[in-house]
Structure 1
Amino acid sequence: MSRKPRVAVVFGGRSSEHAISCVTAGSVLQAIDREQYDVVPVGIARDGRWVLESGDPERLRIRAGSGADRLPSVDGGRASVALAPDATSAELVVTEPAAPPRALGEVDVVFPLLHGPWGEDGTIQGQLEMAGVRYVGAGVLASAVAMDKAYMKVVLAAAGLPVMPSVTVTAREWSADAAACRERAASLGYPLFVKPARGGSSIGISKVHDASGLDKAVEDALVHDPKVLVEVCATGAREIECGVLQALDGSTETSVPAEIRITGDHEFYDFDAKYLPEEATELDVPAVLPDDVERQLRELSARAFEAVGCEGLARVDFFVLPDGSVVVNELNTMPGFTPLSMFPRMWAASGLDYPALVDRLLRLALARGTGLR
């Protein structure tokens, strides 16, 4: 190229993980080398409007205080921005009141830092494929499969990977015959976890100790997703994560695993424990594991990555059960990049620091075309 590659960092979105996407974007915007890349911050407001954001990392941090005001969000009142509907020229077009549309320039690669539905689930990936724009991360199918935890389990199990037993409950089934849904859930045995099937950041998740708590847990999850996953609780398990990165030749590399240990009043790794600094969460990076267990975790991470058809990056989450067996919990195609996020921490412990990680992902995306591959 005769100029620096232009990167559109896209964040926010319509999902319940809007704020966490903004926090992730703040970290990435701060880390991108402006000597190597021309950066355009693009925010997606909660109503779905695309705007030209300020890109100020400080504005995208979790602030001190309490309540929703401490969480960042995209300013939907800014100038609108859109990709020109022309697959031969990926230009960003800006429109403002009382002014003619203006071209902002051609985009070479998009870094979609969107978590949850309408972003991490294959929707924006499909839009970018249609526009002929390169982007960081998994394609349409892998993004959709990994976003839907129920289908992800089907794919992983078909590839011979161990998963926790579960059942799904849809809003239609719950409305038509809640008793049958309760019976299917009870067949798994308590305690159970109830979660939105296509959610993240532990939003809408409940731990249910007995039948008396099931109805409220299902209804809480249905607020976020009309499809709910009811899953066996991995009692006494260690929560271990492992990062996966793709190389330019298509091969995969795995990071050292890390362990999350929850202390204090948290029963599980909920939203506050994940993202609020004052919460009592202990992270071991790398995790203290027997050599054979670490080898197994890294091997299963690469196998899960390949089974789902991921590209670029993924974080694979595991349970190491008290008997020493390993179970895949889930796979995230766009793991968090906040200062507290495990994915960059694991790669830093593996010898790849945060700016180098961001640069590698951008170079991978620039080297990969769109369309069938």
Structure 2
Amino acid sequence: MENHKLRVVLLFGGRSGEHEVSLNSAQSIVKAIDRTRYIVETIGINKQGQWFWGVLPETLIKEGFPPADQTHQVTLVVDPTNPHFMALDGHTLPNQGKFDIVFPVLHGPYGEDGTIQGLLEMANVPYVGSGVLGSSLGMDKDRMKAVFHEKELPQARYVTLLRSDLLSRRDICVDEIETKIGYPCFVKPANLGSSVGISKARHREELMVALDVATIFDRKIVVEKNITGQEVEVAVLGNDHPKASVPGEIKPAHEFYTYEAKYSNIGSSLLIPAPLEESITLRLREMAVEAFRAVEASGLSRVDFFVTSENQIFLNEINTLPGFTEISMYPKLWEASGIPYSELIDQLIQLGLERFQDKQNCKISRE
């Protein structure tokens, strides 16, 4: 029976500010994955970007990463004819480091922005989730919004600024924000998730501080008009024929859904299904699939919306690698839609294998 199990490499941690979120997501997957179908190998990536074989997310959450000489640092051998992991100290890995699929549970830069996906593509290995294009578009809020605009999906008014512009002509940039967006507004690093670096500005002084905070995290800043309404999220699952879950509403403990509110369970509540008119629910699910297809996502995504008191819908963003913690919306939405957590993990793995096989049918040269 052991020989018939698929060998899944769970990849987690990483260099981004969402390192701890990734550990929690991976811990939940390790607990829930069906061991009768899968052999699970774990690779933890520390904040310096080093990869270590066999470390467990639960241990890393409690104790942190062990010293490098107490575990096996590994690297991916990028050989499309024989992809495998290799221990840098010469240690023999299980199954010679070979595997069937990689399950990246890496949030933020160097995890869901297309970089790790590009590495896996170069090695010619199957993996869970969106490819290079879908991941990079889903990560960059500026480019994401440009694609949504091209597809005529309704969004809040926004402007994009570069850190270099803020350094050279700060007052002009602030004047532009006040003229085009006004107050209150949200200031966001273009390439981070989990609300890291996001601030709400109600006047010029707060805007100045918010811009300083955002530029710590990214060279590109997105400033959006504040939309007052229900914060609603929809989960999407699939490849070429994606499906959407029931919507869920977030009741933030703070003024907006902060990092702490998402992962500390300190008072924010989730209403699943969201209390919405049937026609609005249907349109949200349709728009979630449209957003998924717009960025060419695959596997999984969570799509976030605002719904005003007049039932206007504004698309906020898509997250192509949403959290998998016990209080994360993505698995909860699918559970409410009839797919239990363990089965959801199984479907994501199968979708990754399906996408890989589909790509193998494409030629990249005339030979």
Report the TM range for the smaller structure's normalisation.
over 0.9
Determine if contact 1:19/1:73 at 8 Å carries over to the other structure. Answer: no
Determine if contact 2:5/2:37 at 8 Å carries over to the other structure. Answer: yes
Aligned to 2:59: 59
Determine if contact 1:18/1:73 at 8 Å carries over to the other structure. Answer: no
The yes-or-no answer on 1:110 pairing with 2:102 is yes
Residues 31-110 of structure 1 mapped to structure 2, 5 A cutoff: 31-55=32-56, 58-59=58-59, 74-75=65-66, 77=68, 78-96=71-89, 100-103=90-93, 104-110=96-102
Structure 1 counterpart of 2:149, from 157, 161, 165: 157
Determine if contact 2:107/2:193 at 8 Å carries over to the other structure. Answer: yes
- The CA deviation string for residues 299-339 of structure 1, in whole angstroms up to 9 with x for no partner, is 00011111110111110000002221101000000000000
Structure 1 counterpart of 2:137, from 134, 138, 145: 145
User: In structure 2, what is the Cα distance between the partners aligned to 1:273 and 1:75?
Assistant: 29
The yes-or-no answer on 1:233 pairing with 2:226 is yes
Matched position secondary structure for 1:199 = coil
Which runs of 5 or more residues in structure 2 are unaligned?
363-367
Q: 1:127 to 1:76 in 2, by over 3 A?
A: farther
Q: 1:371 to 1:191 in 2, by over 3 A?
A: farther
User: In structure 1, what is the Cα distance between the partners aligned to 2:110 and 2:77?
Assistant: 20
Determine if contact 1:25/1:60 at 8 Å carries over to the other structure. Answer: no
Determine if contact 1:22/1:73 at 8 Å carries over to the other structure. Answer: no
Determine if contact 1:5/1:36 at 8 Å carries over to the other structure. Answer: yes
Shift in Å, 1:210: 0.6
User: In structure 2, what is the Cα distance between the partners aligned to 1:372 and 1:163?
Assistant: 37
Determine if contact 1:53/1:74 at 8 Å carries over to the other structure. Answer: no
User: In structure 1, what is the Cα distance between the partners aligned to 2:79 and 2:21?
Assistant: 31
Aligned to 2:365: none
Matched position secondary structure for 1:368 = helix
Determine if contact 2:23/2:58 at 8 Å carries over to the other structure. Answer: no
Determine if contact 2:230/2:249 at 8 Å carries over to the other structure. Answer: yes
Structure 2 counterpart of 1:251, from 218, 241, 257: 241
Shift in Å, 1:2: 5.1
Matched position secondary structure for 1:46 = coil
Structure 1 counterpart of 2:341, from 333, 354, 363: 354
Shift in Å, 1:105: 2.7
Aligned to 1:276: 264
Which runs of 5 or more residues in structure 1 are unaligned?
64-71
- The CA deviation string for residues 52-98 of structure 1, in whole angstroms up to 9 with x for no partner, is 1422x53355x7xxxxxxxx7554623111111211112111133xx
Give the percent of matched residue pairs that are identical in Structure 1 and Structure 2: 42
The yes-or-no answer on 1:136 pairing with 2:128 is yes
- The CA deviation string for residues 216-256 of structure 1, in whole angstroms up to 9 with x for no partner, is 11111111111111111112x10000000016xx3111100
User: In structure 2, what is the Cα distance between the partners aligned to 1:119 and 1:274?
Assistant: 19
Letter in 1 for 2:85: L
The yes-or-no answer on 1:303 pairing with 2:293 is no
TM-score by structure 2 length? 0.93
Which structure: greater helix fraction? 2
User: In structure 2, what is the Cα distance between the partners aligned to 1:223 and 1:256?
Assistant: 36
User: In structure 1, what is the Cα distance between the partners aligned to 2:46 and 2:292?
Assistant: 31
Determine if contact 1:45/1:75 at 8 Å carries over to the other structure. Answer: no
User: In structure 2, what is the Cα distance between the partners aligned to 1:269 and 1:81?
Assistant: 37
User: In structure 2, what is the Cα distance between the partners aligned to 1:122 and 1:262?
Assistant: 30
Letter in 1 for 2:134: A
Matched position secondary structure for 2:217 = coil
Matched position secondary structure for 2:257 = coil
Aligned to 1:340: 327
Shift in Å, 1:153: 0.4
User: In structure 2, what is the Cα distance between the partners aligned to 1:371 and 1:131?
Assistant: 13
Question: Which consecutive aligned stretches of 4+ in structure 1 deviate over 2 angstroms post-superposition?
Answer: 57-61, 72-78, 100-105, 370-373
Q: Tell me the matched-pair count.
A: 354
User: In structure 2, what is the Cα distance between the partners aligned to 1:211 and 1:76?
Assistant: 47
